[in-house]
Amino acid sequence: MVTIDKLDMGIYVQYARRTQMLEQISEQYHLDQASSIPAQIKVYDAYPKPLEIDILLGSRITQNPWAFFLPPPKFRFQRRAPFGFFRVAPSLGSFEKEEEDEERLAEIECETEEDKKDKKVLQACFAQIEKINGWMGFIVGRIGQFLIG
């Protein structure tokens, strides 16, 4: 095992040279004064980069999306805040309709194992939606309390 006291003298000489070279570079480029340069100064670089040349000449292969989708008709009028609603899936209808759907799902007879799996998954999904709706109601209530207080 090599320890610092058993190193060759050449290692120390190389370290001293590198340290001296760093100090010379710092002096030459005035790196100690770099903090005094205002942030508003911008250096304009007019030389094109390889990526820009590739794009200009068309030699760079880009991946184009395979499909474009338009937003829903009144998308820009919707609220963007995740807690703007008190339900996680308002498209399922009212709470009464959601309960009816759960009851209807419970009444469905399953003939195959796959149907039983699907039914369990849907029941778990309804349970999770109900839990998340409870959380969102709690969060919206707390937000209201903080806004009042």
Contact, 87 vs 133, CB < 8 A?
yes
Let me know if residue 26 belongs to a domain. no
Let me know if residue 99 belongs to a domain. yes
What percentage of the chain has pLDDT greater than the value 70? 86
What pLDDT is attached to residue 85?
A: 61
Let me know if residue 76 belongs to a domain. no
Top-confidence residue, 88 or 129: 129
- Does the reported pTM lie above 0.75? no
Let me know if residue 136 belongs to a domain. yes
Domain hosting 124: range is 83-148
Q: From CA 63, how far away is CA 74, in angstroms rounded?
A: 30
Q: From CA 35, how far away is CA 44, in angstroms rounded?
A: 20
Average pLDDT over residues 128-134: 87
What is the overall mean pLDDT for the chain? 80
Average pLDDT over residues 42-67: 73
Let me know if residue 75 belongs to a domain. no
Let me know if residue 46 belongs to a domain. no
Is the pLDDT confidence value at 81 over 70? Answer: no
Let me know if residue 7 belongs to a domain. no
What pLDDT is attached to residue 60?
A: 65
pLDDT single digits (tens) 108-126:
888 889 988 999 999 999 8
Is the pLDDT confidence value at 80 over 60? Answer: no
Top-confidence residue, 139 or 123: 123
Let me know if residue 23 belongs to a domain. no
Q: From CA 116, how far away is CA 98, in angstroms rounded?
A: 20
Is the pLDDT confidence value at 79 over 70? Answer: no
Q: From CA 58, how far away is CA 103, in angstroms rounded?
A: 60
Counted domains in the chain: 1
pLDDT single digits (tens) 59-77:
766 666 667 777 777 766 6
